[in-house]
Amino acid sequence: MQDMQRYEKRAIDAMVAQLSPEGARSVFELGCGTGRLARQLLTDELPGLCRYTAVDVSGTMVAIAAERLAPFAARAEVERTDGSFPLRHRAASFDRFIATYVLDLLDEEELRCALSEAARLLLPGGLLGIVSLTAGERPLERAITGVWARIQRLSPRTVGGCRPIDPTRYLDAWLWRIRHAETVSSFAIPSAVVVAERR
C-alpha cells in the first residue's frame, strides 16, 4: 500500500477500531507500503511494548517504511519479501495480522495462500484485519466497481492491479470466526472491512 488514497482512510480507520489495538502484543502487516499505517498504529493505538513486523514486495516501499518507522526501531521491523509463502516467521507468533488493500491484488490461489499464512502466524484467538476493494451495495457503487473489474481484466495496471472481492468468501468457518464485516464507501468507492478471529 502506498500512502493512503482518499477513499481508503475511512475503511482503514473502521478496521483499526474493530481490531482492539490497545490489547495487541505483536502485529504483523502484509504489504505495508510506505509504513503510514504502521506509523499511525505505533504512535496512536498500540501499547508501548507491542512488537510490529511489516513486509512488502517492493524494495522502494520497504526503504520508505523503514525510514518512517525509524523512531520505533527498537520494536518495529520492516522486511522485503518475494511474495511467496510461507514466510520466515514462527507459527503462532502474532496476535494481530493486517492486510489493507493487498488481498484484492492477489489471484485466487495467492489470496488463499495469504490467508493460510495469516492463520499459521496468528495465535488462537488472534485477530485478522482485512480491508479490500469490494463490489458495493448501492447502484452507483456497483456501477463503479463493475467498470473497475472490467478494466482490471483487460488492463490490470490501469487500476493498480486490484479488483473488487468479498474477503468473507475465503474465510473458512472451521478456521475463522468473523467478528465484524461491513462495507465502507468513500467517494462511491466501496471497501470491505472484515475482522476475523483465529479459532
Matching CATH number, 9-198, of 3.50.50.60, 3.40.50.2300, 3.40.640.10, 3.40.50.150: 3.40.50.150
Residue ranges in 90-198 assigned as alpha helix (H): 108-121, 139-154
Q: Other C-beta atoms within 10 Å of 87: how many?
A: 16
Could you tell me the pLDDT band of residue 5, with boundaries at 50, 70 and 90?
Answer: low
Instruction: Spell out a b/e string for 28-57, using b for 16 or more CB atoms within 10 Å of the CB, else e.
Output: bbbbbbbbbbbbbbbeebbeeebbbbbbbe
Question: Of residues 132 and 7, which shows the higher confidence score?
Answer: 132
Percentage of residues of the chain with pLDDT beyond 70: 95
Q: What's the one-letter identity of residue 139?
A: P
Percentage of residues of the chain with pLDDT beyond 90: 79
Angle at CA of residue 18, ends 188 and 137, nearest 5° = 25
Lowest mean pLDDT among 6-15, 52-61, 123-132: 6-15
**pLDDT at position 1, please?**
42
pLDDT at 159 over 70: no
Instruction: Work out the average pLDDT over 132-155.
Output: 78
pLDDT at 190 over 80: yes
Could you tell me the pLDDT band of residue 3, with boundaries at 50, 70 and 90?
Answer: low
Q: What's the one-letter identity of residue 54?
A: A
pTM of the model: 0.91
**pLDDT at position 191, please?**
95
Could you tell me the pLDDT band of residue 42, with boundaries at 50, 70 and 90?
Answer: very high
Instruction: Work out the average pLDDT over 156-184.
Output: 90
How high does pLDDT run on average in the chain? 92
Residue ranges of the domains in the chain? Answer: 9-198
Instruction: Work out the average pLDDT over 167-187.
Output: 96
Q: Other C-beta atoms within 10 Å of 82: how many?
A: 8
Give the torsion through C-alpha atoms of 119, 63, 163, 82, to 10 deg: -60
